[in-house]
Amino acid sequence: MEQVFVKNYTLPDLETWVESIGEARFRARQLFRHIYSRRIHSWSECSDLSKMFRVQLEFGAHLNALKMVEKLEASDDTVKYLFGLHDGQFIESVLIPDPPRCTLCISSQAGCSFQCKFCLTGALGFKRNLSTAEIIDQICQVQQDQGARRRITNIVFMGMGEPLANYASVLQAIRIMVDPNGLAFSHRRITLSTVGLVPQLRRLGKESPVNLAISLHASDDALRSELMPINRKYPLPELLSACREYPLPPRKRITFEYILLDGINDSPKQARELVRILHGVRAKVNLIPFNPANPDFGSGYRRPSEGRILAFQEVLQRAQLTAMIRQSRGTDIGAACGQLVARSSG
């Protein structure tokens, strides 16, 4: 029997698979409960399944798609996990406790092909897309590791890679996350961040009501194209048009992420231009002061002074635009925004 990664499957897919190996469809619901509610470590723990079925699972189904290689804890309680994939690639996930919330930042690709100039992950280049099982297993293994100490309450697709460039696997993973028989997260607790792949963005709005975050980082096309090459393909007018047309549920807004780079995109004039281009979008802005890069990569960018950060925020707030300054977490273990490079500290 060909081995499968069961965390690739939604419940209907799993029902089809268990029938294909001669078991009743209701066994799929039992398996879902064992995997996602009981968070088992091995098939031998499934005592309500027949011995023959457990043997079939041992030889025909991979329970885990990842291997935990390293775990680092920061001074602010942020935890970074390094996972090995079956083909020798690596990814990272970051757990951010902020009681009563506990957010897990997950990866959707090994590496990234979009080469945003301020992001270390892009310097790795693109290795491959993650499977649905590799996306889901980040949540399962981190929750297993944390046990009763912390319960993951929120999921953000803000780790390595561009989620909308791996659309099918990411959407399948979201279906498992929100399934009451699966991970049972609310759509309101899941946020997908994208550099702005407009066709997939329009499709997402029709297929899933998860929270949307746009990596913007500039208020004009020339600068955004310099910082984010994807802007040459999908420039700001096209991206913002898709955002204005995005089917938002009541009381929900699109988050625009804006990394502040000293002397580059942090002037009051650029803040006023940001207000202008977001007109007509149900928006809020997350201002992210630049996290200094690993010296091995040396981006040359700097964090603005506190005064420049607050002045930028004030322009947005004066225009009645919600603008929060995101406090970076896990900087001492290379776990902050733009710092993930998927390599061992040893």
Q: Looking at the annotation, which residues are catalytic?
A: 92, 337
Letter for the amino acid at 2?
E
Task: Give the helix/strand (H/E) hosting 227.
Answer: helix 221-227
Contact between residue 268 and residue 312 where contact means Cβ atoms under 8 Å apart: yes
Contact between residue 56 and residue 21 where contact means Cβ atoms under 8 Å apart: yes
Buried b (16+ CB within 10 A) or exposed e, 188-205: ebbbbbbbbbbebbeebb
Q: What is the DSSP letter of 38?
A: S
Tokens of 311: 């002045």
d(CA 60, CA 79): 33
Letter for the amino acid at 89?
Q
Please name which of 324, 325, 314 lies closest in space to residue 283, comparing C-alpha atoms: 324
Three-state DSSP class for residue 334: coil
**Residue 332: half-sphere exposure toward Cβ, Cα within 13 Å:** 8
